[in-house]
Amino acid sequence: MTASTTNKTGFDLRNLVRPNVAKLKPYSSARDEYQSISAKMIFLDANENPFATDVNSVPDPQQRNLKAQLAALKDVEENEMLLGNGSDEVLDLIFRAFCEPGKDNVITLPPTYGMYKVLADINNIENREVLLTSKFEPDVQEILKNINGHTKLLFLCSPNNPTGNSFSEESIFELLKNFHGLVIIDEAYIDFSEKESWLKNLQKYPNLVITQTLSKAYGMAGIRLGICYASAEIIEVLNKIKPPYNVNELTQKRASERVDSKEDVISEVADILENRETLSKALSEVNFVKKVYPSDANFILAKVDDATTRYNQLIAKGIVIRNRTTQPLCKNTLRFTVGTQEENEKLIGALKALEKEEI
């Protein structure tokens, strides 16, 4: 570890890494060692079938082409990036690198993305839940009170799923400064937000980790490509434990093509944002909708008279949304993904028809 891992705020990466991870020697493949001169080499190291099928060779374990594209697009260094089989894999790697089962804990802020808790449970890590405030903002004082010597990770989902809002910058800055574990900001929905990504703060906060994904705005949920941005030191730790070929060849290719046609993504996002405004307005005019929450994402949370009844009625009409009524602070809420204009019109038509039905 270099001196840069320690800073005056008291953050020291060496205190966070699990001892077994700190001392392990990662799996090394010949492709890792000779990738830079690969064009000139004959590879007889990995017992592959030599006849070309396009995918007869193992994929690049470091996904260099895709990382170079993302580095240029996001203005970060390639060694500040780790790619995974969806952000779910990236989040799991973070747990496994830093949290000692049965000993360490993490903090999550319900109502939020369900995978943080599932991953904590899978890894046998205590999940300390600190509810968001009634305005769906992090309760900074309460979070700081819940931190102890074994708190390794704090998950901030911004824009937050399922509430749709981005957290206040002030709260996030305060948490970054006062928590000496890793602050993971999940930016799965950042491309739908007016707020800027936290990527520009990567150099300033050695404890900042940002995750993004091609599953939402980029329209590539099927290929599974998640991205983790963090200091080179943190990325080095995660690289030690990632499965060597965790991002398959087809995914690398499709992701690369999609990142290359960024204009398509931008124009689709613009359409989705327009449809979001239309849907939001239409929802607020439905007589059993009590409240439509503002959204910085590609979904809308709305409070209705009886979420479970309305959910079942929509299912009967062939429309599947998400019932969030059992989530804290979300009683009688439904989450609507913004679809195409046609899908949204069908949804609104169905809701209008329900206005006349008995509940």
Ligand X SMILES: *Cc1c(COP(=O)(O)O)cnc(C)c1O
Quick check: 86 binds ligand X (CB under 6 A)?
A: yes
User: Considering only residues 171-200, where is the footprint of ligand X by CB under 6 A?
Assistant: 186, 188
Q: Which residues contact 207 (CB under 8 A, 6 or more apart)?
A: 9, 11, 176, 179, 180, 181, 182, 183
How far is residue 29's CA from residue 39's CA, in Å, rounded to a whole number?
Answer: 16
Question: What sign does the CA torsion over 61, 250, 227, 94 have?
Answer: negative
Euclidean distance between CA atoms 277 and 39, whole angstroms: 50
Closest CB 190 distance from ligand X, rounded Å = 10
113 interacts with ligand X by CB under 6 A: yes
Q: In this structure, what DSSP letter does residue 298 have? A: S
Give 161 or 193: the residue with its C-beta nearer to ligand X.
Answer: 161
When CB distances to ligand X are compared, the closest residue is 86
Binding span for ligand X by CB under 6 A among 1-9, 71-79, 85-93, 133-141: 85-93
Q: Which span (41-49, 193-201, 213-221, 269-277) binds ligand X, by CB under 6 A? A: 213-221
- DSSP letters along 304-327, please? ES-HHHHHHHHHHTT---EE-TTS
Site for ligand X contains 111 (CB under 6 A): no
Q: Is 218 an interacting residue with respect to ligand X (CB under 6 A)?
A: no
Task: Name the strands in the sheet holding 299-304, side by side, starting at the edge strand that comes first in the sequence.
Answer: 289-292, 299-304, 333-337, 322-323
**Alpha-carbon dihedral 109, 115, 116, 120, rounded to 10 degrees:** 130
Q: Which residue has the tokens 């790619």?
A: 83
Does position 327 interact with ligand X (CB under 6 A)? The reply is no
Is 246 one of the binding residues for ligand X (CB under 6 A)?
A: no
Alpha carbon 343 to its chain's center: 26
CB closer to ligand X, 60 vs 88: 88
Q: How far apart are CA 26 and CA 115, in angstroms?
A: 27
Nearer to ligand X, 111 or 226 (CB): 226
Member of 46, 73, 122, 221 binding ligand X (CB under 6 A): 221
Stretch that binds ligand X, among 82-90, 93-101, 169-177, 237-245 (CB under 6 A): 82-90
The nearer residue to ligand X, 87 or 332, going by C-beta atoms, is 87
Residue 185 forms beta bridges with which residues?
156, 210
Q: Give min distance, CB of 234 to ligand X, in A.
A: 19
- Nearest CA-CA partner of 256 in 90, 81, 64: 64
Tell me whether residue 86 or residue 138 sits nearer to ligand X (CB atom): 86
User: Does the footprint of ligand X cover residue 226 (CB under 6 A)?
Assistant: yes
Does 138 bind ligand X (CB under 6 A)? Our answer is: no
Could you tell me the smallest distance in angstroms from the CB atom of residue 294 to ligand X?
A: 17
Q: Is 69 in the site for ligand X (CB under 6 A)?
A: no
The CA-CA-CA angle for residues 59, 218, 69, to 5°, reads 50
Please name the residue that has the structure tokens 């993302």: 70
Q: Contact positions toward ligand X, by CB under 6 A?
A: 86-88, 113, 157, 161, 186, 188, 213, 215-216, 221, 226
